[in-house]
């Protein structure tokens, strides 16, 4: 009798929040997109904030397990890891030209919806840590790797913004190329 699973709800919510933002997306929007009535939606998440927390946590876990983890595959070269990383990441970020949910939600909410800050920080810390690990594998010093990792994340997030502004996925791809140029080997 269950019309939908929690996982599907989360996936649909990711899509909507990513495209429309947190405040523009109403519980009704979300419910209808899930084929549910507004009221039924509260069976799964008992507040909009709780839903968003669920969404952010789920997405964070997904990145850790499926994407950031690629950085720690010491079987292949540093650069190859970064390439596999980008390969995995690209379709997610370019879909609907909606970019990165974490990035979007950060700029929309971080000064005002304090509840999400810790997940957001954790997400970006893990992302930077993953990149740092790759750069160390490429032979960088700890200090240097740290800096390059942060720079790379920023370039990608900046590129995602420009990608959305100019509706051109090529911008993201070039940013990835640019990051790959930072490698020695």
Positions touching its own copies (CB under 8 A) are 19-21, 23-24, 96-99, 103-104, 106-112, 117, 120-121, 124, 147, 150-151, 153-159, 161-162, 164-166, 171, 174-175, 178
Binding partner of residue 42 among its own copies, DNA, none, CB cut-off 5 to 8 Å per kind = DNA
Nearest distance, CB of residue 123 and DNA, angstroms: 23
Residues 6+ apart with CB under 8 A from 33: 12, 15, 16
x-marked contacts with DNA along 43-62 as a string, rule CB under 7 A: xx-xxxx-------------
Q: Interface with DNA includes 1 (CB under 7 A)?
A: yes
Q: Interface with DNA includes 117 (CB under 7 A)?
A: no
d(CA 63, CA 40): 29
Nearest residue to 85 (alpha-carbon basis) of 142, 126, 140 = 126
Q: Which helix (H) or strand (E) holds 63?
A: none
Question: Are the C-beta atoms of residues 127 and 46 closer than 8 Å to each other?
Answer: no
d(CA 52, CA 115): 10
Nearest distance, CB of residue 88 and DNA, angstroms: 31
Q: Interface with DNA includes 184 (CB under 7 A)?
A: no
């Amino acid at each position: 009798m269950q019309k939908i699973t929690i996982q599907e709800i989360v996936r649909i919510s990711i899509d909507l929040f990513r495209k429309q933002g947190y405040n523009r997306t109403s519980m009704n929007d979300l419910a209808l997109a899930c084929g549910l009535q507004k009221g039924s939606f509260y069976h799964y998440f008992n507040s909009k904030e709780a839903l968003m927390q669920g969404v952010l946590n789920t997405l964070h876990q997904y990145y850790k397990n499926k994407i950031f983890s690629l950085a720690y595959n010491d079987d292949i070269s540093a650069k190859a890891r970064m390439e596999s990383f980008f390969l995995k990441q690209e379709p997610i970020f370019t879909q609907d030209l909606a970019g990165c949910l974490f990035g979007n939600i950060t700029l929309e909410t971080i000064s005002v919806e304090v509840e999400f800050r810790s997940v957001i920080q954790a997400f970006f810390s893990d992302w930077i840590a993953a990149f740092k690990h790759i750069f160390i594998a490429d032979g960088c010093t700890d200090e240097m790797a740290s800096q390059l990792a942060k720079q790379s994340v920023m370039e990608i997030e900046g590129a995602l913004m420009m990608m959305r502004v100019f509706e051109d996925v090529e911008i993201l791809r070039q940013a990835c190329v640019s990051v790959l140029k930072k490698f020695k080997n």
